[in-house]
Amino acid sequence: MDSKTETKLRCAVVTGGNKGIGFEICRQLASDGISVVLTARDISRGLEAVEKLKNSFGITNVVFHQLDVLNPTTISSLAEFIQSNFGKLDILVNNAGVSGMTSDADGFMTMMQAIVKEDQNIEKPNLKQVIIETYESAVECMQTNYYGVKSVTKALIPLLQFSDSPRIVNVTSTGGSLKYISNEKALELLSDGSGLTEEKVDESVDMFYKDFKEDSLETRGWPTYIPAYTLSKVCLNAYTRILARELPTFRVNCVCPGWVKTELNYNTGVYTTAEGAKRIVNLALIPNDGPSGLYFTHGEVTPF
């Protein structure tokens, strides 16, 4: 069997695939001959994305299935759909995520313009006037970006185990670095090494929730800028390391696609969605002797 035939027999799931980076990941994987299951919470938007791939790019090897990473029923339904239609899964790209904040668009864009251009002459808005984060939005962020990824991944691991080349790619952020966490207890729990466990990661989240409720994030060493999003990605990175250790025949990595122009940042990024998605797709297609348990930013391995 030649490599092209093998590729055509491979199946991938992309969460949050109806727009932005997720949509482009689906397009690039499908263009490589892989059967792609594009997932999204909103059924109409998911179906529209599949139609766009067909009508605008001539891609017919993408199908839609609804998935809300916070809804166990949709997760189990997705697993059953893959089992019935493909019998296995080769690639899982955990791309779906939320920011955990609401923001003033004009103020945010002005702030990002100053940061990206390193222009000191642009007046930067007060961060707290631009970004609003509540306890409820913080919980939603953690549940989506960390716990939701865990739920989807655990449901699909049995199908990935049928693959000859199982891949899990978790889409993270440069903000997911441990250097942004100053809380000593959390650093101890999340530090690298054989002692890292899901229970320790979850404990750090519980600590964060408690300190958020008590309005003591800054005094207790948590990030002050989009704290829930930052911690959610730190925890996702930790979970990546745990999976890589527990699944030695898998290739499991996390990757920051870069500051990509998306709706999440009001298109203030410096990279196109195609450029960002390419970094993710590259890891989804690494060979069986490729790296695992690593954190990539800008295509390079980065310390956790």
Specify the CATH number for the domain of residue 232: 3.40.50.720
Examine residue 83 and state whether it is found in any structural domain, yes or no: yes
Examine residue 1 and state whether it is found in any structural domain, yes or no: no
3-state secondary structure of 69: coil
pLDDT, tens digit, for every residue of 6-59? 444 899 999 999 999 999 999 999 999 999 999 999 999 999 999 999 999 999
Query: Which run of H or E residues covers position 112?
Result: helix 105-117
Residue 101 has what pLDDT?
74
Q: pLDDT class for 174, splitting at 50, 70, 90?
A: confident
DSSP 180: G
Residue 7 has what pLDDT?
47
Residue 10 has what pLDDT?
96
- Amino acid letter, residue 80: E
Taking Cα atoms as reference points, which of 233, 228, 231, 224 lies closest to residue 256? Answer: 233
**CB atoms near residue 119 (< 10 Å):** 11
Across the range 275-294, mean pLDDT stands at 96
Residue span of the structural domain in which 99 resides: 11-302
Going by their DSSP bridges, the two strands 102-103 and 131-132 should be labelled as: antiparallel
Q: pLDDT class for 121, splitting at 50, 70, 90?
A: very low
Going by their DSSP bridges, the two strands 251-256 and 62-66 should be labelled as: unpaired
* Residue 288 pLDDT > 90: yes
3-state secondary structure of 45: helix
The C-alpha R_g of the chain, in whole angstroms, comes to: 19
Across the range 94-103, mean pLDDT stands at 83
Q: Note the Cα 4 to chain centre separation in Å.
A: 28
Residue 260 has what pLDDT?
74
Residue 237 has what pLDDT?
97
pLDDT, tens digit, for every residue of 193-247? 668 999 999 999 999 999 999 999 999 999 888 899 999 999 999 999 999 999 9
Count how many domains the chain has.
Answer: 1
Residue 64 has what pLDDT?
98
Examine residue 5 and state whether it is found in any structural domain, yes or no: no
Examine residue 6 and state whether it is found in any structural domain, yes or no: no
Examine residue 4 and state whether it is found in any structural domain, yes or no: no
User: What integer best gives the mean pLDDT of the chain?
Assistant: 88
Active site (catalytic) residues = 229
Across the range 269-293, mean pLDDT stands at 91
* Residue 132 pLDDT > 90: no
Residue 5 has what pLDDT?
39
Examine residue 2 and state whether it is found in any structural domain, yes or no: no
